[in-house]
Structure 1
C-alpha cells in the first residue's frame, strides 16, 4: 500500500489492518484473470472454474467441490443442503461466524433452527455440551441434522482449533450420526500454523467452506468441498439462492493464482503479526493488553480497559496523528483497526501489508499506548 499525501509537505502512511478482505489483486493475478479460458459455469462448462474446483477438492481430500461467490453463501448452501428436512436444527458455537455475522440466513432463508453451545476461549466447545443438546426423537423438538465448527476461529482471535479436539469432534459426530461442516474461511492459515496439509485438518469433516478472499488475496469467491453426491445437490441449492454464475472463470482464475502463490506465503503474515503483538506486550500496559501466544495466525485481539479507553475510542485514536506524535515518530502514520467487542479491538495482517508498514504500525501502537497510560 503506497503512502498517500495529505499535503505537499507531509506524506501520510496509511496501514489498513481492519480485515484481510481488503487486499487488491496483484498485477500477476489480474493477468491470470484476463487470460483465463471461459465458459458458462451454470452449464458446467467453464474450464477455469472446473480446474479450481478440482484443485480445492484435492487440497482438502474430498471428492468434489463447488465455486460460489462468497463465504456466507458457501456456508448457507452447505447448511441448506445438509438440512433439507423441514424442522431441521444445526448445532454450532455461540461465537461462530455463521451464528453471529451471516444475518441468520440459515433461518431467514432455509427455516433451519440454530442451537448454540458455548464457545471456549480456544474456539472449541465442550463435547459433553454437544451430546447434551442433540435432540431425542420427539415430535415436540426440531430434528438435529448438522454440527458446524470454525477454523481458524475469528472471534477467538484467529486461533487454530486443536487437531486432537477436531479428531474427537469427528468421532463424536460419527457416533451421533451427524454430518460435520467446517467454516474454514481461514483454514489455510490454520494449516500453515500447524505445518500440516489442509486435508489433515478436515479429515473428520463431511463438508468444508474455504474462502479465497480472506488472506489469500483473491477479490471474490469461496469453494464448498465434500462428497460428490452432496456437491451435486449443493449445485441446485446454489442456483436457488442466486449463486449461479456464467463466465465465472475470470474470478476463479484469481482463486487458482491465490492458492498457487499467496497460500505458500501465509507464514509471513503470521510472523509480521507477532511483531505487532510484541510491540503491545512490550509496553507492559494495564490499559491495552494482548496475548502474543494466543495470536496463532494473522489476527491479533487487543484488550482495552473500557474505563480508560473503549475499543471504538482506540480505533479513532489510531486513525489520527497529533503534531507531537508526528514529531516523535518522524512520520505521519494512520492505522485503521476494527472494534470487535465491548473490550476488544482487532488487527489483521494480509499479503498487501509490507514489513515497513508493520514497523510503522508498531511504533504508532507503542506511542498511543504510552499516551493512554500517562493519562491514567
Structure 2
C-alpha cells in the first residue's frame, strides 16, 4: 500500500468522475462552444456570486492572468513573502507582466490591513513603482493551510478601495477554508476583483482552475489566456470532472482536516519533532529538532511506503486528501507513533 502525502494534487479521478467525463457534451471551447465548460464557469461564478468565470488549465495561469489584468509593466504587487504567486509561479509576474513585489512578513502567510497600508508607495512619488494590486492566498500553502478571517479581508478591501488598488484572491484551497470556517463564498465574491479557484487540489479533479470576476474583466481575461497559450478545444471532458468534484467532493474536505489534526496530535508526542504549526485544514507543517536530518526522515517514511515532502531548513510537510483513506490513516498514525529516527 503506497501512501502519498506529498500534496493534495496527487489524487486521481474515481470511477464516477471518469464516467461523467466520458459522457460529457463537448465542443470547441476556443470558440466558446463547449457546453460543459460553460456550465462549469457559470456554476463556480454563481457559487461566489460573481458575474462570470473562465476555465484555465492551471491555477498558476489563472493567477498570472489576474496579475496581468490588474497591473501595467513597472507596477508593484503587495503580497506575503511566502505567497504562491511570488515563490512558486516561476517568476511569472515579472516575466509576463513586468511587475515587481512589495513583500510582507505576514503571520503564517496571512497579511493585515495595517501591513498593506505601510507597503503602498505614494502614487505621486514617481521614483517608486506604482502600487496597483494586493494578492492574498487562502488557505496559505507555505503557512500550513491557515485560513483568513473574513473581517481581516474586509479591512484589507477597505484599504484597497481607499487607495485605488485591485484585490485578487489566490483561492487554490478556498474550498478548505470555506468548509473549516463555515463561511459564505458569496462574501468572498463581494470583496475581490478576481478570484482563482482550483478544482484539482483536494477535490479530486485531474486538472483545472476557474478565474472569476465581472463580465468586462473576464472578457479581457479571455485574450490574456489566449496569449499565455491557455485556449483549449474539447475541454468539456475536464470540465465535467470539475462539475462532479463540486457536487460530490467539497463535503468530504472536513475528513481531510480531521485526519490532519490527528496526525499532528501524534507528531506532538514524538521525540524528534520540535514544532508543529497550528493545523486548521489539510496541511501539516512541522519542524524537526536540529540534531536530526530531514532527508533521512523522509527516507525512513518512504521505507514504510509513506511519501512526505521536505521544505528545507528542517521543515517537513504532510498533506491529507481525498485519496487518503481511513485504512491508510490508521497505518500512518501507527507508523508515526513508533518511527525510529
TM-score (norm 1): 0.88
Q: Distance in 1 between matches of 2:118 and 2:233?
A: 45
1:334-366: CA deviation from partner (whole Å, max 9, x where unpaired):
110000131210000111011110110111111
Alignment of 1:46-65 (within 5 A): 46-65=34-53
1:227-259: CA deviation from partner (whole Å, max 9, x where unpaired):
111000000000000000111101011000000
| Contact kept? 1:280, 1:289, Cα under 8 Å | no
Structure-1 residue corresponding to 2:293: 310
Structure-2 residue corresponding to 1:20: 8
Report the 3-state secondary structure (helix = DSSP H, G, I; strand = E; otherwise coil) of the residue aligned with 2:223.
Answer: helix
Matched, 1:222 2:209: yes
Q: CA deviation at 1:175?
A: 1.3
Q: Distance in 2 between matches of 1:61 and 1:202?
A: 6
Structure-2 residue corresponding to 1:328: none
How well do the aligned residues superpose, as a CA RMSD in angstroms? 1.4
Matched, 1:209 2:196: yes
Instruction: Determine which of 332, 340, 344 is the counterpart of 2:315.
Output: 344
Q: CA deviation at 1:160?
A: 0.8
Instruction: Determine which of 360, 367, 374 is the counterpart of 2:331.
Output: 360
Report the 3-state secondary structure (helix = DSSP H, G, I; strand = E; otherwise coil) of the residue aligned with 2:197.
Answer: strand
Matched, 1:299 2:270: no
Q: CA deviation at 1:290?
A: 4.8
TM-score (norm 2): 0.96
Q: Distance in 1 between matches of 2:104 and 2:3?
A: 37
1:9-43: CA deviation from partner (whole Å, max 9, x where unpaired):
xxxx3211000000011111011111110011111
Q: Distance in 2 between matches of 1:23 and 1:75?
A: 22
Once the two structures are overlaid, the 10-residue window that deviates more, 297-306 or 143-152, is 297-306
Gap runs ≥5 in structure 2: none
Structure-2 residue corresponding to 1:3: none
Q: Distance in 2 between matches of 1:88 and 1:40?
A: 36
Structure-2 residue corresponding to 1:125: 111
Structure-2 residue corresponding to 1:77: 65
Larger Rg: 1
Q: CA deviation at 1:173?
A: 1.1
Matched, 1:135 2:118: no
| Contact kept? 1:75, 1:183, Cα under 8 Å | yes
Gap runs ≥5 in structure 1: 1-12, 321-332
Q: CA deviation at 1:319?
A: 0.8
Alignment of 1:173-188 (within 5 A): 173-188=160-175
Matched, 1:288 2:281: no
Q: CA deviation at 1:191?
A: 0.2
Number of residue-to-residue matches in the alignment: 340
